[in-house]
Amino acid sequence: MPASTPNPTGSPEPQIRHRAARIEDRIHDIRERWARRRGHIPTVVPYTGYGSTEWVRVFCRVLLSRPVAPDERSKRRRRRGEQGIRGWRSFTSVPVGEVPVVIEIGGARIEVLADRGGVVDTRIPVALTPGWHEARLHTEGSKVADAPIRIVGPDVDFGIISDVDDTVMVTALPRPLLAFWNTFVLDEHARIPTPGMAVLFERLARAHPGSPVIYLSTGAWNVAPTLTRFLSRNLYPAGPLLLTDWGPTHDRWFRSGRAHKEENLRRLAYEFPGMRWLLIGDDGQHDEELYARFAAEHPDRVAAVAIRRLSTGEAVLAGGRTKAEQHGADVPWVSASDGSRIADQLAEVEVL
- Looking at the chain, the whole-number percentage of residues with pLDDT higher than 70 is 67
* CATH number of domain containing 25: 2.60.40
Q: Is 4 exposed, middle or buried (0-12, 13-18, 19+ CB in 10 A)?
A: exposed
Residue 10 has a pLDDT of: 42
* Domain's final residue, options 121, 151, 181: 151
Same domain (yes/no): 134, 242? no
Residue 12 has pLDDT above 70, yes or no: no
Counting the structural domains of the chain, the total is 2
Confidence of residue 9 (pLDDT cuts 50, 70, 90): very low
- Looking at the chain, the whole-number percentage of residues with pLDDT higher than 90 is 52
Same domain (yes/no): 92, 183? no
Q: What is the pLDDT of residues 179-229, one digit of tens each?
A: 555 555 545 555 788 999 999 999 999 999 999 999 999 888 888 888 898
Of the candidate ranges 41-55, 103-117, 159-173, the one whose mean pLDDT is the lowest: 159-173
Angle of helix 197-207 relative to helix 339-348, nearest 10 degrees, comes to 30
> Which residue range(s) make up the domain with 37?
19-151
133 belongs to a structural domain: yes
Helices (H), 272-309: 287-297
Residue 274 has pLDDT above 60, yes or no: yes
Q: Strand, helix or coil at 117?
A: coil
Other beta carbons within 10 Å of 182: 21
DSSP 5: S
Q: Is 241 exposed, middle or buried (0-12, 13-18, 19+ CB in 10 A)?
A: buried
Confidence of residue 334 (pLDDT cuts 50, 70, 90): very high
Residue 27 has pLDDT above 80, yes or no: no
301 belongs to a structural domain: yes
* Structural contact between residues 238 and 231, judged by C-beta atoms closer than 8 angstroms: yes
Strands (E) in the chain, as ranges, are: 41-51, 55-65, 94-95, 100-105, 108-113, 119-125, 131-138, 145-151, 158-162, 169-170, 192-193, 213-220, 241-244, 276-282, 302-308, 333-336
Q: Please choose, from the candidates 201, 288, 261, 271, the residue with its C-alpha nearest in 3D space to the C-alpha of residue 237.
A: 201
297 belongs to a structural domain: yes
202 belongs to a structural domain: yes
Please indicate whether residue 113 or residue 66 has the higher confidence score (pLDDT): 113
Q: Please choose, from the candidates 267, 277, 346, the residue with its C-alpha nearest in 3D space to the C-alpha of residue 308.
A: 346
Confidence of residue 250 (pLDDT cuts 50, 70, 90): very low
Confidence of residue 247 (pLDDT cuts 50, 70, 90): low
4 belongs to a structural domain: no
Residue 82 has a pLDDT of: 43
Please indicate whether residue 18 or residue 301 has the higher confidence score (pLDDT): 301
77 belongs to a structural domain: yes
* CATH number of domain containing 330: 3.40.50.1000
Round to whole Å and give the CA distance between 94 and 111: 22
Residue 328 has a pLDDT of: 55
Please indicate whether residue 105 or residue 94 has the higher confidence score (pLDDT): 105
**Arithmetic mean of pLDDT over the chain:** 80
Round to whole Å and give the CA distance between 128 and 126: 6
